Amino acid sequence: AQSVAQPEDQVNVAEGNPLTVKCTYSVSGNPYLFWYVQYPNRGLQFLLKYITGDNLVKGSYGFEAEFNKSQTSFHLKKPSALVSDSALYFCAVRDMASGGFKTIFGAGTRLFVKA
């Protein structure tokens, strides 16, 4: 079965410091990977995706993610965190085993950026 794991429930970082939110995946075949962000009482907003190509993917709001096939990881990164980045972040994989029409989400990682 296809799945993603987010090993950290919470990540704390000081404003201006680099941040990393971790994600590992388990898929059969080539992975289609996504990161979404959720602010309080809001739906999910798409940040970036990896389908194929360069291992470093750039997305919205200065975020980027590094795809590592050997480590089956897709960690989300940002060089300099902002207080406004504080939110819930979800890693997700497209379930190609069932035809690719549904996306499976991790449990989420709450990011706190302290001023």
Partner 1 sequence: DTGVSQNPRHKITKRGQNVTFRCDPISEHNRLYWYRQTLGQGPEFLTYFQNEAQLEKSRLLSDRFSAERPKGSFSTLEIQRTEQGDSAMYLCASSTEQLNTEAFFGQGTRLTVV
Residue 84 or 98 with smaller CB distance to partner 1: 98
Task: Kindly tell me which of 66 and 95 has the beta carbon lying closer to partner 1.
Answer: 95
Closest distance to partner 1 from the beta carbon of 73 (Å) = 17
Q: DSSP readout, 20-79?
A: EE--EEE-SSS--EEEEEE-TT--EEEEEEESSS-SEEE-GGG-EEEEETTTTEEEEEES
Compute the least distance from the CB of residue 52 to partner 1, in Å: 8
Chain positions contacting partner 1, by CB under 8 A:
32, 34, 36, 41-46, 49, 51, 90, 92, 94, 96, 98, 100-108
CB 22 within 8 A of CB 4: no
Tell the smallest beta-carbon distance from residue 67 to partner 1 (Å): 14
Closest CB to partner 1 among residues 49, 77:
49
The first and second tokens of residue 22, run together, are 């971790």
Q: Is 75 exposed, middle or buried (0-12, 13-18, 19+ CB in 10 A)?
A: middle
CB of 42 to partner 1, least distance (A): 6
Closer CB to partner 1, residue 44 or residue 82? 44
Residue 96's φ and ψ, nearest 5 degrees, are: -70, -25
